[in-house]
Amino acid sequence: MRLIFLGAPGSGKGTQAAILAKSQGIPQISTGDILRKAVKEGTELGQKAQEIMKRGDLVPDDIILELIRERLAETDCKSGYILDGFPRTLEQAKGLDRMLGDKGIQAAVLFEVQSATLVGRITSRRVCVDCGETYNLITDPPPPDGICLRCGGKVIHRQDDTEETVSNRLAVYEAKTAPLIEFYEKKNKLFRIDGEAPVEHVRDQLFTLMRRLGS
């Protein structure tokens, strides 16, 4: 099972990736996690990425692709994997195809959610400053005392989760993702899921799709 999960911030793709990864015994892979790990471990690529990020620049596609290559070579990926939010650009998608060759991606799953819903979800998000555990005032509120149930850290409303910032992020996402959607549609590998539904219903749609794909 080699999958890509596409979706705007707040679409729920990370939640669904975690559910499917656990049920199938395969890793959920995001470039953010890979970058943080490489920087923390001080690898050659991690050091290069850290220097670039310190300047406030985006990490180039070639470094991201090399990090992905290293991650997919690890033993836990032998039975498959879910790429959560990668690729982000058309060039990354083409690079991934070249990297995988005959063992290409089986499906790109797009979680579709209206912009108004996304803004509401993200502005309601609260995050633990210590462990990163995510809560939501609408669907999964944090404890009244603002203390994380997972680690005891402080739960906050991030500055980049304001309505104005979220709207800008969604505009950038739409501009970058539209070519990706067309790219996978032309390959007959794009599958759409209604992300507006409750988590359990989205999960059911996803598992139905996996059965169709023969997983």
In degrees and rounded to multiples of 5, residue 77 shows phi and psi of: -95, 0
Catalytic member of 2, 36, 88, 189: 88
Contacts of 84 (CB under 8 A, 6+ apart): 5, 13, 14, 17, 28, 29, 30
Assign 9 a pLDDT band (cuts: 50, 70, 90).
Answer: confident
Catalytic member of 13, 121, 126, 203: 13
In this model, does residue 139 exceed pLDDT 90? no
Whether 103 is catalytic? no
In this model, does residue 181 exceed pLDDT 90? yes
CATH code 3.40.50.300 region(s) in the chain: 1-7+25-105, 113-194
Going from the C-alpha of 142 to that of each of 18, 125, 133, the distances in angstroms are 20, 10, 10
Query: What integer is the mean pLDDT of 107-116?
Result: 95
Catalytic member of 37, 69, 150, 158: 158
Cα dihedral 193, 19, 157, 154 in deg (nearest 10): 180
* CATH classification (class only), 113-194: alpha beta
Query: What integer is the mean pLDDT of 58-84?
Result: 93
Whether 88 is catalytic? yes
Query: What integer is the mean pLDDT of 89-104?
Result: 92
Whether 2 is catalytic? no
The pLDDT of residue 215: 53
Query: What integer is the mean pLDDT of 209-215?
Result: 85
Half-sphere exposure of 209 (CA within 13 A, CB side): 23
Domain covering 1-7+25-105 assigned CATH 3.40.50.300 in the classification: yes
- Bond before 141 cis per omega within 30 degrees: no
Cβ(91)–Cβ(12) below 8 Å: no
Assign 93 a pLDDT band (cuts: 50, 70, 90).
Answer: very high
In this model, does residue 46 exceed pLDDT 60? yes
Whether 186 is catalytic? no
* For the chain, percent of residues with pLDDT exceeding 90: 65
